[in-house]
Structure 1
């Protein structure tokens, strides 16, 4: 698989499910604080594949919990990663595996387009073609399922909230 590249022009190459996006708006994030005891430091993102939840660890034994869509069977990954880049309305170039499954996709979908599967924001990881990104109102039903090609899909209001809390270098852990 190819790696994310071409950030100077804003193009985001990601192995994520095709969908639509909505503009950033004043929508309230779908989050709540939960008890979360962990060996990881505050500021770490922990994703539970089985729970379909992303946790942003706070310093007091709690975490902000977000519902997410995770990778479909055969596209999963486990272990540690770090946020490599942060992008609002990133361009998207479908990788070969997505293009194969969806041959009618264009070679590039510009950021902000209603057809861009990255939604309003993306945080790329230091793993091949993996990002934590938004989604579209028409794909909201995929949240809580195994739907992506490896990416972590969030509601646009949630990815916007998380985007404001993290920085490049943030530790990300995917658990079964």
Structure 2
């Protein structure tokens, strides 16, 4: 199981069988605080969501941040979460130009982390695992 604490900007890996924490990583969450209300509100949804799939994002094109005009990359992997009614929410990496945003409210709604940390969790994350996102 994974727990994302938005206020603390941390992602925890929890071994449910052993009842122990196996990792903790700094993350960026939605630029705007609070529960997601509509598409484009730059909030990270709160609740319990399953991992839907894991995608190789190394060839994905970066997106342009409409507010800042910056180009932002997804890093090497995209861990897609099933977050109805929202789509396109996941856990992904970032590029060198946005590393300073890790640990802040900076994303468009995804959970963004350092690429080297993403590579670590990619080794143990599986579709169907639960991700609990709390305020």
What TM-score range do you get, normalising by the shorter chain?
A: 0.7 to 0.9
Question: Which one of the candidate residues 10, 32, 46 is aligned to 1:78?
Answer: 46
Unaligned runs of 5+ in 2: 33-40
1:91 aligns with 2:60: yes
- Give CA-to-partner distance per residue, 1:93-134, whole Å, 9 cap, x none: 85xxx67x26x79xxxxxxxxx66111111011121101001
C-alpha displacement of 1:92: 4.6
Question: Which one of the candidate residues 51, 55, 59 is aligned to 2:8?
Answer: 51
Map 1:9-158 → 2, pairs under 5 A: 44-58=1-15, 59-73=18-32, 74=41, 75-88=43-56, 89=58, 91-92=60-61, 101=66, 117-127=73-83, 128-158=87-117
SS of residue paired to 1:160: helix
Question: Does the CA contact (< 8 Å) of 1:121 and 1:133 recur in 2?
Answer: yes
**Higher alpha-carbon Rg:** 1
Report the count of equivalent residues: 120
Question: Which one of the candidate residues 163, 171, 176 is aligned to 2:122?
Answer: 163
TM-score (norm 2): 0.78
Larger strand fraction of residues = 2
SS of residue paired to 1:81: strand
RMSD: 2.3
- Give CA-to-partner distance per residue, 1:74-100, whole Å, 9 cap, x none: 523110111111112252585xxx67x
Question: Does the CA contact (< 8 Å) of 2:9 and 2:28 recur in 1?
Answer: yes
- Give CA-to-partner distance per residue, 1:141-162, whole Å, 9 cap, x none: 0100000111000100000100
Unaligned runs of 5+ in 1: 1-43, 106-114
Question: Does the CA contact (< 8 Å) of 1:87 and 1:122 recur in 2?
Answer: yes
Mapped partners of 2:52, 2:25: distance in 1? 21
TM-score (norm 1): 0.61
Does the C-alpha gap of structure 1 residues 175 and 164 become closer, same or farther in structure 2, counting only changes over 3 Å?
A: same
Moved >3 Å (runs of 4+): none
